[in-house]
Amino acid sequence: QRQRQTPRWARQIIAHDELESTNDLAKKLLADGAEEGTLVLADTQTRGKGRLGRSWFSEKGTGLYFSLILKPALPREQHPSLTLMAAVATVEALQPFSPHPITLKWPNDILLNQRKLGGILSEQVLAPGDTVSGVVVGIGINVNQTRFPEELAAVATSLYIETREQPERSDIFSFIINYLYKYYQILLEDGASPILSRWRQNSRMLGSSILLRQGAETHTGVAIDLDAAGRLVVRLNSGEVRAFDGGEVTLHPG
């Protein structure tokens, strides 16, 4: 068995009752030279951010909102694999808390019973000269919310809503931190391919028909795989096979 180092992270956890966004504070700390593994945690966010410019509902005391600072020795084009790594770690850490499967929807939605249980927002921080000084991986999990605002009620869910159990957020947090450490080491030592295969195992969407919106464009087809760079490979209805590196997927449209 290989020797693993003690986690270089979670040595420094910066916890706040309230922040605008844990990602924003983590980016600032990274720019100021914070160590890899520094974690920023908030009990609520007043401007929690989601992908594609959306906001992230961050009710006080019921969800988990945190950001991890990474400084991976990976070429920049492999940085998308960090988000997939975090998605795999999170879904596997959450699974023991639910009798129903928790699954991944590309690129990084965490679903339970077809609704969104969590999401991941990774942001790069650039140093002068356009080199990457690090990446902030922000994770939001709906744990003990009993309800969501009306506009989210059809699409969002929490562990409590689905299981009627109220897990301790700190238990879930430590599971996720440990899995993140494990899969980060695997990514650095063995590359993206074990992460991609875990991602495939934890996703139910490969083989499904999908609709993908990217900016003003809409594409329909069948999701067939992830490629080595973590892009979603789709067989479009026209027969063309194309890899997408962003966008918003709807499963089983129409």
Question: What residues make contact with ligand BTN under the rule CB under 6 A?
Answer: 21-23, 45, 48-51, 54, 56, 65-67, 109, 119-121, 138-140
Tell me the closest approach of the beta carbon of residue 96 to ligand BTN, in angstroms.
21
Contact 231, 238 (CB under 8 A): no
CB of 168 to ligand BTN, least distance (A): 18
Closer to ligand BTN by Cβ: residue 45 or 81: 45
The distance of closest approach from Cβ of residue 5 to ligand BTN in the complex, given in angstroms and rounded to an integer, is 26
Nearest to ligand BTN of 55, 166 (CB atom): 55
Peptide bond into 107 cis (omega under 30): yes
> Which is nearer to ligand BTN, 102 or 121 (by Cβ)?
121
Query: Which residue's CB atom is positioned nearest to ligand BTN?
Result: 119
Least distance to ligand BTN, CB of residue 106, Å: 12
E strands, the chain, where? 13-19, 39-45, 63-70, 102-105, 109-112, 115-127, 131-142, 209-214, 217-226, 232-236, 241-244, 248-251
Closer CB to ligand BTN, residue 22 or residue 103?
A: 22
Buried b (16+ CB within 10 A) or exposed e, 204-218: ebbeebbbbeeeeee
